[in-house]
């Protein structure tokens, strides 16, 4: 039975994450939104604290992995709630600021990929490395299987050639998890992920993008020109298994999509709380004991937005709970990502409207949050792609049958 109550053992972590969000993130949120591409140096001490929490086993608001092999031979069972704890911590941190969480050292989406599919030796080597994730290319947006970056085995190294765009933390991270194909003629089964460390010859950061939102986080374009990567840096098996297909690298998304959903939930909650305060100051009371149609129009709209938030929140917790209990969560991860990504955009824009002129100016963070929200409906698989994945799963269709 799924229990979506916040576990008592998570209380300390949630409180710590909330304090960090309130005392570190919120005070500098607007500062680094205005100072785009400037690294938030205030995060270094907080990152060190999170490293300590992760190494002690208490968990933090950073990247954790869905390791399906954990516990083999002991009948499986609950993995001590690690994924749920990470999601709860992420929600609290993004209540403070999404971009600042994305700027945290050693908490990148590439770290989640490493935690999900790396072997023990790779975990030991890359455990303390800040890793970004490089998937999207100029010629392939939402179709991750259509990537053209190649990896050719040459002795003890793979030689990578290609270009990646929209890489979160691509300039600041110590390494990048790069998706590349070993053999384009064999389709998605040949796509593998490689850890490419900064300073590797042939690896170049071409530029850093200017963006609508999450401006404190850097988003880079990367180029690989005969970039030689040790073959030990390939994550997972080097074999091309056409029966298993794309499942190996796609397992990463089962972990990162709930994290992105958690980011959206945290941001949506921040917007709702701020809007509730503004409405209260305007003398508008939200009464949970009366039907919405019998209240002020603004209160009724607020209740609708809050209901949308609750649905996204519960789906997000469900996807993390399933990962902790070693149940396949690909469907639930996509459902959570789709619902939370769409809801946070609707909620933040709705809150801007409810707040009126205050919501549209820089007097409140609502204006910033409405800009930050959109990326959460796009990266780690767009809204449309998530709906397509959900439809395939529910209808039992393959990607070839339902496009």
DSSP letters spanning 117-157:
H--HHHHHHHTT--EEEE--BTTBSS-GGG---EEEEETTE
pLDDT-derived band of residue 80, with 50, 70 and 90 as boundaries? low
- Cα distance between residue 238 and residue 31, in whole Å: 45
Q: Which residues contact 215 (CB under 8 A, 6 or more apart)?
A: 32, 33, 34, 36, 37, 99
How many domains are there within the chain? 3
Nearest to 338 by CA among 264, 248, 252: 264
Which is it for strands 150-154 and 157-168: parallel, antiparallel or unpaired? Answer: antiparallel
Which tokens hold the place of 290? 């009366």
One domain, residues 375 and 258? yes
Which tokens hold the place of 168? 């979160």
One domain, residues 146 and 230? yes
Residue 89 lies in a domain: yes
One domain, residues 381 and 326? yes
Average pLDDT on 136-149 reads 84
pLDDT > 90 in the chain, percent? 69
Nearest to 271 by CA among 345, 380, 357, 356: 345
One domain, residues 332 and 218? no
Which tokens hold the place of 153? 């085995």
One domain, residues 261 and 368? yes
Domain hosting 142: range is 131-235
One domain, residues 269 and 213? no
Domain boundary among 206, 235, 264: 235
155 phi-psi bin (left φ>0, alpha ψ -120 to 50, beta other): left
What is the chain's mean pLDDT, rounded? 90
Tell me, what CATH number does 307's domain have? 1.20.140.10
Average pLDDT on 110-124 reads 88
Q: Which residues contact 312 (CB under 8 A, 6 or more apart)?
A: 261, 264, 265, 268, 336, 339, 340, 343, 344
One domain, residues 229 and 294? no
- Cα distance between residue 24 and residue 328, in whole Å: 36
pLDDT at 179 over 80: yes
DSSP string for 181-196 = ES-GGGGGGGEEEEEE
pLDDT at 160 over 90: yes
Nearest to 112 by CA among 130, 85, 89: 130
One domain, residues 196 and 335? no
Q: Which of 137, 301, 367, 380 is catalytic?
A: 380
Residue 403 lies in a domain: no
Which tokens hold the place of 315? 């789906």
Please say whether the beta carbons of 118 and 235 come within 8 A: yes
pLDDT at 245 over 90: no
Residue 193 lies in a domain: yes
Residue 154 lies in a domain: yes
User: How far is CA 40 from each of CA 29, 121, 190, 205, 270, rounded to the nearest angstrom?
Assistant: 10, 32, 38, 20, 21
Q: Which residues contact 162 (CB under 8 A, 6 or more apart)?
A: 137, 147, 148, 149, 150, 180, 223, 224
pLDDT at 98: 97
One domain, residues 182 and 300? no
pLDDT at 72 over 80: no
pLDDT at 396 over 70: yes
Helix (H) or strand (E) holding 349: helix 330-355
At residue 38, φ and ψ (nearest 5 deg) are -90, 125
pLDDT at 52 over 60: yes
Average pLDDT on 60-82 reads 54
pLDDT at 130 over 90: yes
Q: Tell me the pLDDT tens digit for each residue of 282-304.
A: 999 999 999 999 999 999 999 99
pLDDT-derived band of residue 70, with 50, 70 and 90 as boundaries? very low
Tell me, what CATH number does 219's domain have? 2.40.110.10
Residue 3 lies in a domain: no
Question: Which tops the pLDDT comparison, 59 or 100?
Answer: 100
pTM (two decimals)? 0.92
pLDDT at 71: 45
Residue 242 lies in a domain: no
One domain, residues 151 and 256? no
- Cα distance between residue 153 and residue 17, in whole Å: 43
Residue 319 lies in a domain: yes
Please say whether the beta carbons of 92 and 21 come within 8 A: yes
One domain, residues 337 and 253? yes
Domain boundary among 71, 105, 126: 126
301 is catalytic: no
Please say whether the beta carbons of 123 and 145 come within 8 A: no
Q: Tell me the pLDDT tens digit for each residue of 6-20.
A: 888 889 989 999 999
- Cα distance between residue 132 and residue 152, in whole Å: 22
**384, 386, 391, 397 alpha-carbon torsion, rounded to 10°:** 100
pLDDT at 68 over 70: no
Tell me, what CATH number does 48's domain have? 1.10.540.10
Domain boundary among 126, 160, 194: 126
Average pLDDT on 327-354 reads 97
- Cα distance between residue 199 and residue 400, in whole Å: 40
pLDDT > 70 in the chain, percent? 89
pLDDT at 348 over 80: yes
pLDDT at 242 over 80: no
User: Helices marked H in 9-107 — which ranges?
Assistant: 11-20, 26-34, 43-55, 82-96, 98-102
pLDDT at 237: 87
Residue 217 lies in a domain: yes
Number of CB atoms found within 10 A of residue 395's CB: 9
One domain, residues 12 and 144? no
């Amino acid at each position: 039975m799924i229990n979506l109550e916040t576990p008592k053992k998570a209380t300390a972590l949630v409180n710590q994450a909330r304090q960090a969000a309130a005392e570190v993130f919120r005070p500098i949120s607007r500062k680094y939104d205005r100072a785009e591409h400037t690294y938030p140096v205030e995060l270094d001490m907080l990152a060190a604290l999170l490293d300590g929490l992760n190494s002690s086993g208490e968990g933090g608001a950073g990247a954790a992995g869905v390791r399906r092999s954990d516990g083999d031979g002991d009948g499986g069972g609950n993995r001590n709630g690690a994924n749920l704890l990470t999601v709860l911590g992420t929600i609290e941190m993004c209540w403070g600021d999404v971009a600042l969480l994305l700027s945290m050292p050693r908490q990148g989406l590439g770290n989640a990929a490493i935690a999900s599919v790396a072997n023990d030796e790779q975990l030991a080597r890359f455990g303390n490395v800040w890793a970004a994730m490089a998937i999207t290319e100029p010629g392939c947006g939402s179709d991750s299987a259509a990537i053209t970056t190649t990896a050719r085995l040459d002795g003890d190294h793979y030689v990578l050639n290609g270009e990646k765009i929209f890489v979160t933390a691509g300039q600041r991270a110590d390494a990048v998890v790069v998706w590349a194909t070993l053999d384009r003629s064999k389709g998605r089964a040949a796509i593998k992920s490689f850890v490419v460390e900064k300073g590797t010859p042939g690896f170049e950061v071409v530029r850093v993008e200017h963006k609508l939102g999450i401006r404190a986080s850097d988003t880079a374009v990367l180029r690989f020109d005969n970039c030689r990567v040790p073959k030990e840096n390939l994550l997972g098996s080097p074999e091309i298994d056409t029966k298993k297909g794309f499942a190996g690298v796609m397992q990463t998304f089962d972990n990162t999509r709930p994290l992105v959903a958690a980011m959206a939930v945290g941001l949506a909650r921040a917007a709702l709380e701020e809007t509730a305060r503004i409405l209260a100051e305007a003398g508008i009371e939200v009464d949970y004991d009366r039907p919405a149609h019998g209240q002020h129009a603004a209160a009724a709209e607020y209740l609708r937005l809050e209901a949308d938030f609750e649905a996204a929140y519960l789906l997000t917790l469900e996807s993390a709970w399933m990962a902790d209990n070693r149940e396949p969560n690909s469907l639930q991860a996509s459902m959570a990502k789709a619902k939370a990504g769409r809801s946070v955009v609707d909620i933040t824009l709705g809150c801007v409207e409810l707040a009126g002129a205050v919501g549209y100016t820089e007097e409140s963070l609502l204006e910033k949050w409405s800009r930050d929200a959109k990326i959460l409906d796009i990266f780690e698989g767009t809204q449309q792609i998530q709906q397509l994945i959900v439809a395939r799963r529910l209808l039992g269709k393959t990607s070839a049958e339902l496009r």
